[in-house]
Amino acid sequence: MSESERIIVGSTLLALEGIFFGVLNEMPACTSAEMRIWFTTKLGLLLRYLGKSPSAENRKKHINIALGLIATVVFALVPLGYSMMESHPCGAWFWWTLSLLFAAYSFWSITPISRWARLIVLTTGTVAFLFYGQRSLYSGTELDFFFVNPGVFLVRGTGEQLLLVTGENTHRPLFSAQMILQDMVTSRAVPNESDLAKRVAMIKGSMIEKDYPEIGPTFLGDQIQWRPIDVNNQEYSIQARYRIGDKAFLSTEEIRIVNIGSRFVSAGRSDSNPVWQFSVTVRNQANVVLMHCVDPRFPRDARWIAGPACFPGAKYGPLQRSLCARCFGRGLEFVP
């Protein structure tokens, strides 16, 4: 059960508990016959209350207040919610919830039908509002981030890795995307190289920079064919800067690929039987993990983080988040 679901269930149970103990407090300590009379009396009062329609005098009394609330809903809260929908859908739905409360009060005060009918209409409308609101909130708070798919291993020469820049984790376009991809294994090996010319070549060859005007759901993708110094132990660090709307964002991605099978030496060797294990992690500018997966047999070291398996199925989607985390957590939706 998600955090938001636990809050809703807990609040509902607390309200029911209050009603239950409130009823017990009103009940007289008497015989069963007297208890039946008490329940019958209370039930009759409730039914008579729900069966009444507001009188003309009562409607006239509330008409000014009700019309004022309706005006507030129409001319202030609803447009305010629409203006916030793109930038902060949770805030938009907060204002629309206030609008619903005001409209419900107005409807209850001035509609000339029985309370039973008004209760049914309000209950139906509230259920529809909550159902659509939850779907809209989950849709409007989906994460959008730059992503490099680890791709596939190419059996050629001493082995190559085909990395793929995709739009698979975007729902809105990312504009002016700048990517820096660094081969961390090569970078760490630079200080151990004594030949200055080779060291310079390793530094230049350990990094690649690319610019993309726009990456979105319809992005056709880009391929980066990389020849690591050791395909059996690969690690890539990707830093990306981009805009979503008028806000700038930064995200980092770590890709680690380890061969736990027989060591791959070259394409000419037929005795190689590599078994690849992946670990992929994406963080936002606040260092919050947005997406993470790790295969079950990936070696556990100091940087190992538990998470769902990357394979089978190449599960590279963002981590599941509750409604509270979507509205109040730090993702890539609202933090500039």
- Using pLDDT thresholds of 50, 70 and 90, give the confidence band for residue 208: very high
- Identify whether 336 is part of a domain: no
Rounded to the nearest integer, the mean pLDDT of the chain is 81
Q: Which pLDDT belongs to residue 67?
A: 62
**Is there a contact between 289 and 264 (Cβ–Cβ < 8 Å)?**
no
Higher pLDDT, 165 or 55: 165
Looking at the chain, the whole-number percentage of residues with pLDDT higher than 90 is 34
* 132 and 269 within one domain: no
Rg for the chain, CA atoms, rounded: 30
Show which of 94, 119, 140 is a domain's final residue: 140
- Identify whether 333 is part of a domain: no
Q: Which pLDDT belongs to residue 298?
A: 95
* 194 and 120 within one domain: no
Where in the sequence is the domain holding 29, given as residue range(s)? 1-51
Q: Which pLDDT belongs to residue 180?
A: 96
- Identify whether 306 is part of a domain: yes
Q: What is the DSSP string of 130-191?
A: HHHHHHHHHHHT-----EEEEEEEE-STT-EEEEEEE-TT-SS-EEEEEEEEEEHHHHHHGG
Mean pLDDT, residues 133-151 taken together: 90
Lowest mean pLDDT among 17-26, 53-62, 96-105, 156-165: 17-26
Res 44 pLDDT > 90: no
**Identity of the residue numbered 311:** F
* 171 and 112 within one domain: no
pLDDT in tens, 176-191: 999 999 999 988 888 8
Res 321 pLDDT > 60: yes
pLDDT in tens, 284-303: 888 889 999 999 999 998 98
* 307 and 216 within one domain: yes
**Is there a contact between 279 and 294 (Cβ–Cβ < 8 Å)?**
yes
Show which of 95, 121, 140 is a domain's final residue: 140
* 259 and 188 within one domain: yes
* 160 and 74 within one domain: no
* 122 and 187 within one domain: no
- Identify whether 298 is part of a domain: yes
Q: Which pLDDT belongs to residue 62?
A: 63
* 282 and 182 within one domain: yes
* 298 and 227 within one domain: yes
Q: Which pLDDT belongs to residue 91?
A: 81
Residue 232 CB neighbour total at 10 angstroms:
18
pLDDT in tens, 232-272: 999 999 999 999 888 889 999 999 999 999 989 888 876 77
Res 335 pLDDT > 50: no
Mean pLDDT, residues 153-167 taken together: 91
- Identify whether 104 is part of a domain: yes
* 209 and 269 within one domain: yes
Which alpha helices (H) appear in the chain, and where do they start and end? 3-26, 32-51, 56-72, 78-84, 89-110, 115-140, 184-189, 196-205, 323-328
* 96 and 15 within one domain: no
Helix (H) or strand (E) holding 209: strand 207-215
- Gap between the Cα atoms of 67 and 330, Å rounded: 40
Res 65 pLDDT > 80: no
Sheet holding 222-226, edge to edge: 147-154, 160-166, 222-226
The total of structural domains in the chain comes to: 3
The DSSP bridge partners found for residue 294 are 279
Residue 69 CB neighbour total at 10 angstroms:
20
- Identify whether 334 is part of a domain: no
The pair phi, psi for residue 94, each rounded to 5°, is -65, -45
pTM > 0.75: no
Sheet holding 207-215, edge to edge: 207-215, 174-183, 233-244, 247-259, 276-283, 289-294
Res 280 pLDDT > 80: yes
Q: Which pLDDT belongs to residue 312?
A: 84
Res 334 pLDDT > 50: no
Res 64 pLDDT > 70: no
- Identify whether 206 is part of a domain: yes
- Identify whether 229 is part of a domain: yes
* 100 and 219 within one domain: no
Residues in the chain: 336
Show which of 140, 175, 194 is a domain's final residue: 140
